[in-house]
Structure 1
Amino acid sequence: MATRDIYESGFDEERSNSTTSACPECGGHVRTNCAETVCEDCGLIIDELQIDRGPDWRSVFDDDDETQRRTGAPLTPARHDRGLSTEIGYERDARGNTLSGEKRGQIARLRREQSRGRFQSKAERNLAHGLTEVRRIASALGLSETARDRACALFRSAQDEDLLYGRSIEAMAAASVYGACRCTGLSRTLDEVITVARVSKRRVSNAYKALNSELGLPTAPLTPQSFVSRLASDLEVTDHVRHRAFELAERAEAETIANGRQPSGVAAACLYLAAQERDCALTQASIAKAAGTTPVTLRSRRDELQRELSQ
């Protein structure tokens, strides 16, 4: 690195907290922390003003109680500006004091100008709208922050590749959420995403096909095992029924029964057979509704499983 040719010593992260080098004055033991290098025997400061990688703090007074808080929120891909934007308050200042009428008018004008200058281009405005839609869909589906950030990153990539031309922002946002679920192995079907999206299934399906073909998403096929745990949790069955249904789902995949079949339908059939074996009162209609399929599909997969088990 160029810094090694400029500085005589390395940065603080290149040094250990306890080094064996001796003090140039007394030959004593030298200790290095994040701020300076000091001799423990004579107190000589050998080096200082090094890079401090620690957090910045500010004092916040709240009801005569001084506390330390981390300044600023962490960067997040879920917002168009990575979370670096600021918000102007309304009636109180940073210390909680009430603003005067003249000051409130001035703050209102500043807030209006900030809102007008928030976006530098139309593309940035579309990005903000799309990421807001992604966050809404992810929240409605109960997805984790990791899946939400993955969906936001997919939407950014889609905009960078000019995939938004001729497609609605809402459809691409829903397709990004579904693509993130497929990439992370989450058991979310396209129909579940459609229920909380604001566009039709055809538009979301076309947008997802464009994402998958243009970006080359590392999606893996959904398996019945990925739906068993969620169905068992929604229907509140016992662990014995859950484990038996998981075993049946593994056997269905091993015997190629699940090939070309709806994974949620196979998982529903496995859960229904496991409930019958463990004398658990579950109806076909309740299981099919939780799986997003029909009782006819459930019975068809059940008959195939029973024929396989009887062999």
Structure 2
Amino acid sequence: MPVFREDTGEYVCPQCGYVFPELPLEDTPLVVRDRERNRLHYEVYRGGSTTPRSVARAHRRGAYELERVSKERHYESMARRLLMSNGVPRHLVEEVAALLERVQKEDLLRGRSSRVITAALLMYVSKSRGAQLPPETFEKVAGTSLRRVNRCYRMLLSSGVLAHQVSKPRKPSQIVTSIASKQGIRETLLEQNIPLSLIAQFADKAYSKLQGRKPAGVAAAVVYLTLRMANSRKAQAEIARAAGVSPLTLRRALKHLVERLDVEIGI
């Protein structure tokens, strides 16, 4: 609480020596706004401020640090709520929150969407932990397309905030299992009584003979070809999205699969 000094006629903070100017006589828009934010607003009516410069400078610095810390906590709590509402596991949420604090210290949030950065950090954590999250999760967290999330992910890698990962590529058989777990594709395979192990085996053999093809593209092409042979009319875009590749990548892998490959698997 400020203390009134009778010798100067001023209200002074007994701890830091800050001199409180006179209160304004009318409610200006600035005063009303600060009062709604539970802030005290003061205005000097005669003369300048009598607070020592060192005290005033420390007071302004403290107010700035308090506002900065409150913003950091706001971004962190918002990221936690966003990730939890989209079904992200708690251990991944904690890692994303820790990385978000590092991004804030590097001042990389300025001029960028916090939701897109949160989605890019989630992509990094999921890759490092081997967690298979569908592309729809990143788009829901970011509130935009997956292309923008990938662009932000590359920016964070180039800035040095995130370390480059050297991970072992997944086998096409693992990706086939992920594709087959999607709603609609699983039912079709069960109706046609097609063994999933057979498709996974064919995908691995096809990948070993096709050089320079993405494992996800080969897996998507194998699943699409299997469904076509079973007279199922699944769109290429749907299967490509389940595999995390573009329809163009699926068509290129399918072309190489049909033209160059001759694999026989006995049942």
- TM bucket (normalised to shorter chain) is 0.5 to 0.7
Match of 2:117 among 168, 172, 175: 172
Question: In the alignment, what sits opposite 1:272?
Answer: 224
Deviation at 1:221, TM superposition (A): 6.4
Preserved CA contact (<8 Å) 1:272 1:282:
no
Considering Cα pairs closer than 8 Å and 6+ residues apart, tell me whether 1 or 2 has the greater RCO.
2
The alignment status of 1:281 with 2:227, answered yes or no, reads no
Q: Deviations over 1:214-244 (max 9, x none)?
A: 1214353653444322210112134854223
CA displacement 1:135-169 (0-9 Å, x = unmatched) = 424642x4322322232222223223443344332
In the TM superposition, what whole-angstrom CA distance separates every residue of 1:55-102 from its partner, at most 9, and x where no partner exists?
xxxxxxxxxxxxxxxxxxxxxxxxxxxxxxxxxxxxxxxxxxxxxxxx
Alignment of 1:133 with 2:87, yes or no, is: no
1:55 match: none
Cα separation, partners in 2 of 1:288 and 1:269, compared to 1, 3 Å: same
Distance 2:166 2:91 in 1: 16
> Aligned partners of 1:309 and 1:202: how far apart in 2?
32
One of 122, 147, 152 as aligned partner of 2:68: 122
Task: State TM-score, norm by structure 1.
Answer: 0.49
SS at match of 2:181: helix
Instruction: Spell out the pairing of 1:56-71 with structure 2 (5 A cutoff).
Output: none
Gap runs ≥5 in structure 1: 1-111, 114-118
1:289, distance to aligned residue in structure 2 (A): 5.2
Matches within 5 A, 1:1-311: 120-137=66-83, 139-140=85-86, 142-188=87-133, 193-199=138-144, 204-213=149-158, 214=160, 215-218=162-165, 220=167, 223=170, 224-234=172-182, 235-236=185-186, 237-238=189-190, 240-257=194-211, 259=212, 261=214, 263-275=215-227, 279=230, 281=232, 283-285=234-236, 286-288=238-240, 290-291=242-243, 297-310=249-262
What amino acid is aligned across from residue 158 of structure 1 in structure 2? V
Q: 1:310 to 1:202 in 2, by over 3 A?
A: closer
Go from structure 1 to structure 2 and tell me whether the alpha carbon gap of 1:204 and 1:304 turns closer, same or farther (over 3 Å shift).
same
The aligned length equals: 191
How far has the Cα of 1:245 moved from its partner? 2.8
Higher helix share: 2
Aligned sequence identity (%): 27
Whole-Å separation in 1 of the counterparts to 2:151 and 2:121:
12
Aligned-partner Cα distance in 1 for 2:233–2:101:
44
TM-score, normalised by the number of residues in structure 2: 0.55
Change over 3 Å in CA distance of 1:253–1:195 after alignment to 2: farther
**1:175 offset after TM fit, Å?**
1.0
**Post-superposition offset of 1:260:** 5.5
Give 3-state SS (helix, strand or coil) of 1:310's partner: coil
Q: 1:233 to 1:155 in 2, by over 3 A?
A: same
Find runs of 4+ consecutive structure 1 residues off by over 6 angstroms: none
